[in-house]
Structure 1
Amino acid sequence: MTNLSALILMLFLSSSSLMGQDRSGQNRPGHDSPVRLSETYELANIILALTDYGKTDLWEVSRQSAYYQDVRTYFDQHGSHPLLTKVNYSRQQWESYLSFRTDAYAFAFDSANQVVRRIPFKANQGFNPFEENLNLVEDFVKVTGFRQFYRDHLPYYQGLASAYLTSQRYPEMLRFLETEFGKQPDITAYAIVVSPLVGRMNCHRMVAGVGTDFITLPDFLRTDKAVQGASEEEVASGTHMLFTELDHAFVNPLTDHHRSLVEANFASSQWDSGSGYEKDSLATFNEYMTWAVYDLYVQHYFPAAAAKVSRDWTLQNETRGFYASALFNHELATLYQHRKPGQTLKDIYPAFIRRLGLRQASLSKPIIEACNLADQTISDTTATFVIHFSEAMNQLPSFDLIQVVEEHGKTRQERLVLSAQTHGLAWSDNGKVVRFRLNLAKNALNRLLFNYPWRTSAALSSLKGIDLAPYSAIKTTVKSRI
């Protein structure tokens, strides 16, 4: 930890009013810390966690902590409250879900225990679900005794905020971004809003002139691991959620400054395969860019873990529809490494945009075009797979896959590392064809998954630098005669 980090943490912990209210009515863990704890924001997250969607979606609500179990134990008896049906959103209703959760930050409890708006803020224009359901929200608070639950867990929230600030190296983040992009004159301050229940959908918004990031906590904190027990890889990876929201405050204005150049060289229709941002080339570009800048950040501050952490998040970004993330990130890193002395990201921005324009005409997504055993039923458990790709691939001497076996109503999986020595791995036709041997489970469905995020050590990619789509799969059934 740097001296500046330690200073901020000390100020955070020694604040005489650790959870006092500022003039807007928001609960704040000390004015010297960027971390914000909001009682109404936590209220909204608890409400959403109790809906049928919140209980069943695998990613929306974080369930790893003992705190989540406390929430369920305390509030499940009120599962029939009409508010929970009213705000039972879905993935398709993500704007309503995000707005209900995030807009709650604009509200606070007044002296009469009423929930009132303090800030004229809405996360998504055209959506106002928290305020529209305010009567039901207040009834939920009274019926469940929410405020007592919140007070009882205040030490936990404070400790979590402290651990989060320690882990994020926020001063270094800010210093890196201000060095590379310059200070942002339109932003008077920065804030980070946290809840242990948020599982996905980080977002950056301007709230009353404050650049505010609503973020997901790192996995190691959500599983109640102490910061001191986290590895460099865990800490580096855990900074991703905050960094890629915080840097929107720097990337977006610079992209807008070069709007005409982006529009001339970057067409979302050619870079985006259904992310939800594809209607706006600048929005697609900014999502790519914020994650690519993160790669440069981890290379600077976490060099030993950077390669794996960047690969994991690149594959994750590709699952979102940003299919050319590996290429985009590589192009930025290459240009940045060869920049002139004294140049920053802001300086090379125009050259990078033009560089993407040169790549755009030849973009293509590599796919598994054919496989001799795809969707086949065989009798031998020892099988030789011959895979044909749609284009030439990098001929890796070794790569991994996940073998998923489905038998007797149960599923198990194993990570396998293929090589010439272990599985007869061999490439041909300039990298368009690869073959290897595998032992399959008999009387079972065997699925092979390639470029599996978080478990892949070497991603399969084309000679153009574009990854095979994550979770690309081949299915083969074995029905043994024995």
Structure 2
Amino acid sequence: MYLDGQRDSFNGVNQVPREFSYDLGLDKEITPFVLVSETDSISMVIRYGQITRFLIVREAKDDTVTCQFTSHKSVKAATFTEAYKKANAGKTIVDIPEVYELMNVVFALTDYGKTDAIYKDSPYYKAMFVRFSPYKNHRAVRVLDSLMNKSGDNYPNLKMDSYAYRFEGDRIRKGDTYDRASWGEYNTLEPYVAHLQSFAKESKFRVFFREQQSYYNQLLAEYRKNIDVATMKQWLEKQFPATRYSAVKVIFTPLVGWNQSANNLSDNGFAEAHAHVNYPFIDADDRKQPSAVTRGRRMKIVFTELNHSYLNPEAEKYQQKVDNGFGDLTKWITPNKPSAGYNNPLQCFEEYMNYGLVTLLYYDLFDRPTFETLCAGVEKSMTTGRGFQQFDKFNQELLRLYQQRKPGQTVADLYPAVLDWAANH
């Protein structure tokens, strides 16, 4: 597609729902818009606050998609001032933000909160639920519940965007740095902040948050000591020398069960990588393992989010090779398994690389017996559990290439070779 004469991408049309809406952040109030396919094109104008509708006939699905595009004035996702840059450059920051925790408390009271997306096997969850369950019919809970019923994809956006907010007394305001922290053109939480603020005031959430500070501090201290995000960042920057981040932020809550996400933001010559993750609680199975194995397992959660900020930009350089190697997705993913969600070649390859990098990190950090245990666990989880059919073979080929790399070669240099292997496999 072309916006104001500038080429952009509009891919994955066969994956979008039959009614598709998108709000574009644009610099001009009136912007020419052209959509081009292999056989046809359509031209129209997009205006701030007005809905532009058009139809796309999908031959592959024998149906028609109704598209609704609107636009608003573009707002930077983040504003990194000189003072902010000076205060944060080179840092790895781990945090449990207050409004972020409030957001997850409200999520925990919805029907979505009844799933494993919320971690319940902790005294903290039980204390939280006793404290806030009397407010489960509050409008904030009902509104979030309705949004989650529409689509579970709303969860990461709303959670991530809550990171842009902070408390000022009883009021919830955007801070000076972030407009949003998720991937879209606007802050998805903004229309519902008043409900969140009302919930916090009525339930005395800020009192609860202060009461739990010693617990939060305990989790943060343990995380900083044992997860070692700084080592991961150092390893990734060595293996992907074209990608650099001025700072890394890890944002978590003891309430998140399994839904992790990542993003990166840039402004004023400063770039941040964000990982939104769950806390890696030690379970009964972990306690049976040698301490090094448990350490490796716990590192995996944040590493598999952080590394997307490095591996994805590199993958995008090889789109044609990715299409050649992963174009036939029936060889790589499995219907009705988690892998089925990675239903385009680039996303599929990136997830294979995501966990392939876990293996390479383990190879560099751990002794051979520990590495073999961890590697076997990753391969079993990816193939049997998640349904990435050929991950074990892919993983071993990537490991072979890494072990046999020439002096000075990095993981980024291995992309063409592993993609050639995929195309011929």
Q: TM-score, normalised by structure 2?
A: 0.70
1:342-353 matched pairs, under 5 angstroms: 342-353=408-419
Q: 1:335 aligns with which of 401, 404, 408?
A: 401
Aligned equivalents of 2:328, 2:240: Cα separation in 1: 24
Change (3 A) 1:268 1:44: farther
Distance in 1, matches of 2:151 and 2:373, equals 33
Secondary structure, counterpart of 2:132 in structure 1: helix
2:260 to 194, 202, 206: 202
**2:334 equivalent in structure 1:** 273
Distance 1:329 1:91, change over 3 A: farther
Q: 2:227 aligns with which of 153, 168, 175?
A: 168
In structure 1, the partner of 2:217 is 158
Q: Is the 8 A contact 1:141 1:147 kept in 2?
A: yes
Match among 312, 332, 344 for residue 377 of structure 2 = 312
Give the aligned partner of residue 121 of structure 2: 64
Query: Displacement of 1:109 after TM fit?
Result: 1.5
The question of whether the paired residues in 2 share the 8 Å contact of 1:95 and 1:127 is answered with no
Residue identity in the other structure for 2:163: Y
Deviates more, 1:260-269 or 1:243-252: 260-269
CA contact (8 A) 1:68 1:197 kept: yes
**Preserved CA contact (<8 Å) 1:99 1:127:** no
Q: CA deviation at 1:80?
A: 2.0
Paired residue for 1:282, among 346, 349, 370? 346
Change in 2 beyond 3 A, CA 1:31/1:144: farther
Residues 198, 215 of structure 1: 8 Å contact kept: yes
Structure 1 CA distance for aligned equivalents of residues 391 and 315 of structure 2: 18
Q: Does 1:217 align with 2:279?
A: yes
Kindly state the Cα deviation for residue 68 of structure 1 after the two structures are TM-superposed: 0.9
Secondary structure of 2:189's counterpart equals: helix
Q: Report the Cα distance in structure 2 between the residues aligned to 1:351 and 1:230, rounded to whole angstroms.
A: 35
CA 1:305–1:356 in structure 2 vs 1: closer, same or farther (change >3 Å)? same
- Secondary structure of the 2:202 match is helix
**Contact 2:89-2:246 at 8 Å conserved across structures:** no
* Alignment correspondent of 2:318: 258
Residues 175-233 of structure 1, C-alpha deviation per residue, up to 9 Å, x if partnerless? Answer: 22122221524x3221111111111121111145311000122121x89x99xx98221
Gaps of 5+ in 1: 1-21, 360-482
Answering whether residue 239 of structure 2 is matched by residue 239 of structure 1, we say no
User: Identity of aligned pairs, percent?
Assistant: 25
Q: CA RMSD in A?
A: 3.0
Partner of residue 377, structure 1: none
Residues 250, 141 of structure 1: alpha-carbon distance in 2 compared, 3 angstrom cutoff: same
Q: 1:179 to 1:32 in 2, by over 3 A?
A: closer
Contact 2:180 2:186 in 1 (8 A): no
Q: How far apart in 2 are the matches of 1:31 and 1:282? A: 30
Which AA in structure 2 matches 1:238? R
Map 1:29-48; keep pairs closer than 5 Å: 32-48=91-107
- Does 2:177 match 1:177? no
Residue aligning to 1:301? 365
> Which residue, out of 133, 137, 153, partners 1:80?
137
Q: Distance in 2 between matches of 1:296 and 1:47?
A: 38
Decide whether aligned partners of structure 1 residues 189 and 134 sit closer, same or farther in structure 2, where only a CA change above 3 A counts. Answer: same
Structure 2: 5+ residue stretches without partners: 1-79
Query: Residues 283, 53 of structure 1: CA spacing in aligned structure 2 closer, same or farther, 3 A cutoff?
Result: same
1:265–1:353 CA contact under 8 A, matched in 2? yes
Q: More relative contact order in 1 or in 2 (CA 8 Å, sep 6+)? A: 2
Q: Give the Cα–Cα distance (whole angstroms) in 1 for the partners of residues 181 and 239 of structure 2.
A: 30
Q: Residues 70 and 284 from structure 1, CA distance in 2 versus in 1: closer, same or farther, beyond 3 angstroms?
A: same
| Cα displacement (A) at 1:37 | 2.5
For normalisation by structure 1, the TM-score amounts to 0.62
Q: Is the 8 A contact 2:97 2:251 kept in 1?
A: yes
How far the C-alpha of 1:280 sits from its partner, in A, is: 2.8
Are the equivalent residues in 1 in contact too, given 2:103–2:162 (CA < 8 A)? yes
AA aligned opposite 1:77: P
Query: Equivalents in 2 of 1:49, 1:40: separation in Å?
Result: 14
